Amino acid sequence: MRYLVLSDIHSNWEALEAVLRHAGGAHDAIVCLGDLVGYGADPNRVVEWARKEVSVAIRGNHDKAAVGLLDPAWFNPAAREAAEWTASVLTPENYAYLRRLPRGPLSVGQFQIMHGHPADEDEYLWDLATPDDVLPFLARPLAFFGHTHIQGGFRLRRGAVSGLEDVAEGEAGFRVALLPGWKYLINPGSVGQPRDGDPRAAYAIFDTEAAEVELRRCVYAVEVAQAKILRAGLPAVLAERLKAGV
Ligand code: ZN
């Protein structure tokens, strides 16, 4: 079984379309780690696609903010403006879908999915400085998380923690072999608003038979997504940051 693992699409249709083309349909199911909406200009298109194509999705903080489950006063001004705009344009069906999204961590077959920290979906999982905060929540050897918009992750074994490499500049992918005895926390990166200095859309493929996760990057039409953000009247900073991937 091959899973396409997507996170933090953030209403960026151009990035999502490019990822789907790049993945080439070589997967059996799609899972989504939250933040379908927020920041970008195509919330309805992205949510309509998710309603049809995604097998399992959990909610992110921006999904919650768009449907009244989180006060956007906690956001920075640009994110807050985007959350309010998103709430005002979502169709009733898409609003209802986002409102029903479950909280992570959620088990999907052999692995788990979560938006942020397993103990609190809204907290960021930046490092594993204190693995004991995370380990009680890991019911499987593999978990996928998002929220930081930074591709990569960690592996742990008996108190030993190490970081995973991510995709090098100019490369399209990096394979992580899942070794027995280790637990893996893997971030596929953000489809629609990468923040690791690489503006390419990020995603992952999990191949259960090969016991391997491939982290991938692909270019997309950043200028088209930027133009839509500006045309929608959203803050210009949300368009600018896509170019730099920050
Ligand atoms: Zn996000």
Structure tokens of 11?
Answer: 């209403």
| Closest C-alpha to 45, from 93, 85, 13, 89 | 13
What is the whole-number distance in angstroms between the Cα of residue 239 and the centre of ligand 1? 15
* Torsion angles phi and psi, residue 229, rounded to 5: -60, -45
- Looking at residue 83, its pLDDT comes to 97
Q: pLDDT tens digits, the chain, 246 residues: what are they?
A: 999 999 999 999 999 999 999 999 889 999 999 999 999 999 999 999 999 999 999 999 999 999 999 998 889 999 999 999 999 999 999 999 999 999 999 999 899 999 999 999 999 999 888 888 898 999 999 999 999 999 999 999 987 888 887 777 778 889 999 999 999 999 999 999 999 999 999 999 999 999 999 999 999 999 999 999 999 999 999 999 999 999
Do residues 199 and 221 make contact, with C-beta atoms less than 8 angstroms apart?
no
What is the whole-number distance in angstroms between the Cα of residue 180 and the centre of ligand 1? 31
Between CA 211 and CA 219 the distance in angstroms is 27
- Looking at residue 130, its pLDDT comes to 83
Neighbour count for residue 23 (Cβ, 10 Å)? 18
- Looking at residue 21, its pLDDT comes to 97
What is the whole-number distance in angstroms between the Cα of residue 116 and the centre of ligand 1? 9
Structure tokens of 102?
Answer: 């479950």
- Looking at residue 226, its pLDDT comes to 98
Query: Which 3 state secondary structure label does DSSP give 62?
Result: helix
- Looking at residue 227, its pLDDT comes to 98
What is the whole-number distance in angstroms between the Cα of residue 148 and the centre of ligand 1? 7
| Closest C-alpha to 235, from 84, 66, 71, 36 | 84
CA 221 to chain CA centroid, Å, is: 19
CA 123 to chain CA centroid, Å, is: 14
What is the whole-number distance in angstroms between the Cα of residue 62 and the centre of ligand 1? 7
Give, rounded to a whole angstrom, the gap between the first and last alpha carbons of the chain. 33
What is the whole-number distance in angstroms between the Cα of residue 8 and the centre of ligand 1? 4
What is the whole-number distance in angstroms between the Cα of residue 147 and the centre of ligand 1? 5
What is the whole-number distance in angstroms between the Cα of residue 35 and the centre of ligand 1? 5
What is the whole-number distance in angstroms between the Cα of residue 201 and the centre of ligand 1? 13
Q: What is the reported pTM?
A: 0.96
Q: Which amino acid is at 199?
A: P
What is the whole-number distance in angstroms between the Cα of residue 151 and the centre of ligand 1? 12
Do residues 204 and 144 make contact, with C-beta atoms less than 8 angstroms apart?
yes
What is the whole-number distance in angstroms between the Cα of residue 79 and the centre of ligand 1? 10
Ordered DSSP codes for 168-210: PTT-SEEEEE--TT-EEEEE---SS---SS--SEEEEEEETTT
**Domains delineated in the chain:** 2-244 (3.60.21.10)
Between CA 125 and CA 146 the distance in angstroms is 8
What is the whole-number distance in angstroms between the Cα of residue 13 and the centre of ligand 1? 15
